Structure 1
Amino acid sequence: MKKFLLLILAISPILPAMAQADNEALRFKLNESGTHYFQATLLNQAWLRSTENNPGTTVEGNLESQSTDIGLRRTRMQLFGQITDRTFIYFQFGQNNFNAQYNSTSNRKIAPFFHDALGEYRLSDKNQLKVGGGLSIISGLSRFSQPSIGTITTMDVPVFAQTTVDQIDQFSRKLSVYARGQIGHWDYRYILSDPFPITSNGQTPPALAPVSNFALKGHNLQHQAYLIYQFFDQEAHTTPYMTGSYLGTKKIVNIAGGFIYQKDAMWNKAAASPDTTYQNMAHWAIESFVDIPLNKEKHSALNAYIGYFNTNYGTNYLRYNGVMNPANGTTATAANSISGHGPVYGNSYPMFGTGSVVYTQIGYLLPSKNASMSNRWMPYASATLAYYDRLNGFSNNTFNAGINYYIQGNKSKLSLDLQNRPSFQVNQGELVKGQRLNSVTLQFQLFI
């Protein structure tokens, strides 16, 4: 960890020299006025990270209490455009979480895939009603269930809000048809999704047990809806993705709510019962988002969010997850660790579960004489306060704090993030809290 911090200090003096002139978008006119166009974007988020691993973690067979790794959190290409007056097309291709442990037992070259492929038709004169369909992240729960990852305030998104990620979806994307639009101060979306079976996610499904898991039998469509009231400026409405921060260029104050519902999505079976019980998956959330300029002369801005999430995956569902996990094994057993879903090694912690979560974040774009977004700084902090039934009343809180250095806005930025997360163990059959663990990450984002 000390070597990692020394490296960051060593490169800090050269940061201002990295600022560069604004680049033109890769945008091609399809008609004389440019109202019909086709555009390409490219994004890369590279991470250098040091992580305190969970107890018993192994990396390639060796016990490792700490890991330092380099990886690509996200590498993406978007292709989209307004190809007629009313028709919009959107594709996204790329890969995620690519580090030394990606497919370490299989084929590291199997990585990129289509994230999105959709077509949309605008039925109204403006944005009052659009209908579309295809493979899409469009969601009913929260803005962080469908985030624009190139514009987020914190270094990474609160992944728990993408409730079924890589379980019955393709990295949060589902085959869906939807309607969305903006009417006055209201912004709405309704989505009907056809989820993937749990058996196709590339992992061995957990055995039928007293705790709930996604059902291996049966198939039902998923209903989602999301409604926003916008007090001042309207949010961007080109793609279904929701902006993380407008960096003071808009006055956004919103309240919103949404839900996801799927009948008989989950199942469980009591140890002494011959019968299988099916349960509905039902999540709902209410939230508020603020992104406003504070001082127009000094070009400062505030970004803030708070949301309450009620997540119901059935009886005592709990899933561990670690973002771009730096490890690939553990010496932990069912006798001394929680027998939940997902790996308990590396940087993983109970990220998803039946219960409730409060998530909040705040970022402050520091004052500057510079009106552009060159050489600007934004410190931020976030907290995820989770209470899951399976943890027997223990809180499951994760905290992040960091700072963004905008070399040229979101096109070129560095982010330094410190995360403090919980750990849990089983001692003589009783769940106990372990020590809190840290990770520090330096991200370099390029976006055109």
Structure 2
Amino acid sequence: MNSKTNYFLIFFFLFCIVATSRSQGSLYYDGGFKIKFGENQDKFLRIISWAQAQYNYLEDVPENASNYNFQLRRARLLLIGQITKDFTIVTHLGLNNLNANTMSPTGLGNGSQLFMHDAWAQYNFSEKLSIGGGLHYFNGISRLNNQSTLNMLTLDNNRASWATLGLSDQFARHIGVFAKGKLGKLEYQLAINDATTSSLDTRQVSPNYSIYSGRSIIGSKTAGKTYAGYFSYNFLDQESNYLPYKVGSYLGTKSVFNLGAGFFMHPNGSVISENSVPKGEDVNIFALDAFLDQPLGNSGAALTAYAVFQSNDYGTNYLLGPYATGSMLYSHVGYLLATNKTDLKFQPYASISHQNLDASEHDKSIIGLGINAYFSGHNSKLTLEYKNEKFGNVQQTIVGLQAMIYL
């Protein structure tokens, strides 16, 4: 057997061992840690904490690098507080992707530092309208661009769906103002934000392709603002929009079918060289998506399915990692197996992504197969996933095992 087969068998063996053991997660989460002040039910502080640890195998790595590694994918702390139902404050701290390459000897390096993910204040006028501001996650485009990391169906989010992460924002969060609410079965969120001056796109201005660094190159007056929105119509059970974090799988506890549409616009967000002079190009991203989470009878089985079409315009021939001008189709589907046990459930799933890129004659595709083992719903679960990424002649196979607990 080749090395890939050997590692996959090791992953599967470890997965089965842990899946037959008892979880330390509570079977009765019931809203988690919520400190209530007095008799007023609207006066509280809620605390949510979670950690995701991974063991990953990569088939193709540099000659002197190991094929497998350990990683703390996420460690987060979320605080939600209010003294009346009229206003809310949200604070979210954490770190991501802590591994041997990002750790530092005394924990003071950039890769090992906690940083602010969210911090916003929100005024709640009615179910129809809340207005807030700060560092927030009320994004546009699609459901996956607003994905919670607590309850994803797949091991992780489709990376290209966090379509502005590090380009115009800080880790998928912008500083700005937002409005959100529900009009009957229609849910909406809209935001006007400042684009960041810094960007993951540090390339030099070129006449052949655009770069996403408009604010730093041509200034905040013409490239300083971004505009985003997402709308969804809830046909069946109504989802909560108290927080922006969208649920990935309800595990059959709700009957949900939503159709959504969203956008992100950044005038002059990208820059291209024209006659040796930087010229701004508009960034426009639009998406249509559908989400289904449906219990199947009374057996405990459930179906979760999602699909999105996304049109990406980052500028002329834009291509930087997962970001590219072109179009994307993405879908995933999961089946929660019926079981007589209330504390142990399995959910096999599959995902597929296909991108057409203006800057390349090759398409980019990603196929994933995995299974979730739930010991106490999403509060305690293991995920095993095989993923194959292909772009032209470049192909990468990744096998990941992730353990997650959140309280």
Structure 1's unaligned 5+ residue stretches are 321-350, 424-432
What is residue 406 of structure 1 aligned with on the other side? Answer: 374
When residues 85 and 7 of structure 1 are mapped into structure 2, their CA distance, relative to the original with a 3 A threshold, is closer
Against the structure 1 CA distance between its residues 109 and 265, is the aligned structure 2 distance closer, same or farther, given a 3 Å change threshold?
closer
Check conservation: 1:19, 1:408, Cα contact below 8 A: yes
CA-CA distance at 1:85 after TM superposition: 2.3
* Residue matched to 1:306: 307
Which of 21, 27, 31 lines up with 1:22 in the alignment? 27
Q: Which amino acid aligns with 2:292?
A: V
Aligned counterparts of 2:59 and 2:282: Cα–Cα separation in 1:
37
Aligned residue number for residue 112 of structure 1: 114
State the match for 2:204 in structure 1: 207
Which residue identity does 1:241 align to in structure 2? Y
Aligned to 2:52: 45
Q: After the TM superposition, which residues 27-426 of structure 1 pair with which residues of structure 2 at under 5 Å, given as runs?
A: 27-53=34-60, 58=62, 63-64=64-65, 67-102=67-102, 107=109, 110-124=112-126, 127-198=127-198, 201=199, 205-209=202-206, 210-214=208-212, 215=214, 216-219=217-220, 220-270=224-274, 273-295=275-297, 297-320=298-321, 351-370=322-341, 372=342, 374-392=343-361, 394-423=362-391
Instruction: Flag structure 2 segments of 5+ consecutive residues without an equivalent.
Output: none
Kept in 2, the 8 Å contact 1:83–1:89? The answer is no
CA shift for structure 1 position 4: 5.4
Q: Which residue of 2 aligns with 1:341?
A: none
Structure 1 residue 396: Cα displacement: 0.7
Post-superposition shift, 1:35? 2.7
- CA distance, structure 1, for counterparts of residue 138 and residue 73 of structure 2: 21
CA–CA separation in structure 1 for the residues paired with 2:100 and 2:124: 44
| TM-score for both structures, normalised by structure 2 | 0.91
1:300 deviation in Å?
0.9
- 1: CA distance between counterparts of 2:151 and 2:136? 19
CA 1:419–1:275: 2 relative to 1, 3 Å: same
Q: Verify the 8 A CA contact 1:135 1:175 in the aligned structure 2.
A: yes
* RMSD of Structure 2 on Structure 1 (CA): 1.9
1:210-239 per-residue CA deviation (whole Å, 9 max, x = no partner) reads 210022222221111111111011112221
With 41-50 and 275-284 compared, the bigger mean Cα shift is at 275-284
* Displacement of 1:104: 7.5
**What is the alpha-carbon distance in structure 2 between the residues aligned to residue 84 and residue 401 of structure 1?**
45
Judge conservation of contact 1:48–1:70 (CA < 8 Å) in 2.
yes
Report the secondary structure of 1:141's partner residue. Answer: coil
Q: Could you tell me how far 1:262 is from its partner in structure 2? A: 1.0
Q: Do the aligned residues in 1 keep the contact of 2:218 with 2:278 (CA within 8 Å)? A: no
Contact 2:15–2:382 (CA<8 Å) still a contact in 1?
Answer: no
Identify if the C-alpha distance between structure 1 residues 269 and 87 changes in structure 2 by more than 3 Å, giving closer, same or farther: same
* TM-superposition CA deviations, 1:83-106 (whole Å, max 9, x none): 212111111100111111226899
> Is contact 1:377–1:405 with CA below 8 Å preserved after alignment?
yes
- Residue 336 of structure 2 aligns with an amino acid whose one-letter code is L
Structure 2 counterpart of 1:197, one-letter code: T
What are the superposed Cα offsets for residues 239-274 of structure 1, whole Å, 9 maximum, x if unpaired? Answer: 11111111111111010101000111111115xx23
* Secondary structure, counterpart of 1:269 in structure 2: strand
1:192 partner SS = strand
> Residue 108 of structure 1: CA displacement?
5.8
Over the matched positions of the two proteins, sequence identity in percent amounts to: 29
User: Counterpart of 2:319 in structure 1: which amino acid?
Assistant: L
Give the partner amino acid of 1:293: P
Structure 2: distance between partners of 1:37 and 1:204: 41
CA contact (8 A) 2:98 2:111 kept: no
Asked if the contact 2:131–2:177 (Cα under 8 Å) also holds between the matched residues in 1, the reply is: yes
Give the total of aligned pairs.
391
| SS state at 2:13 partner | helix
- Would you identify which runs of 4 or more consecutive aligned residues in structure 1 move more than 3 Å? 103-106
Q: Is the 8 A contact 1:286 1:307 kept in 2?
A: yes
**TM-score, reference length from structure 1:** 0.83
Alignment check: 8 A CA contact 2:7 2:57 kept: no
Q: Which of 2, 5, 9 matches 2:13?
A: 9
Judge conservation of contact 1:16–1:407 (CA < 8 Å) in 2: no
Q: Distance in 2 between matches of 1:293 and 1:204?
A: 43
Q: Aligned with 1:5: secondary structure?
A: helix
Structure-2 separation of matches of 1:194 and 1:218 = 12
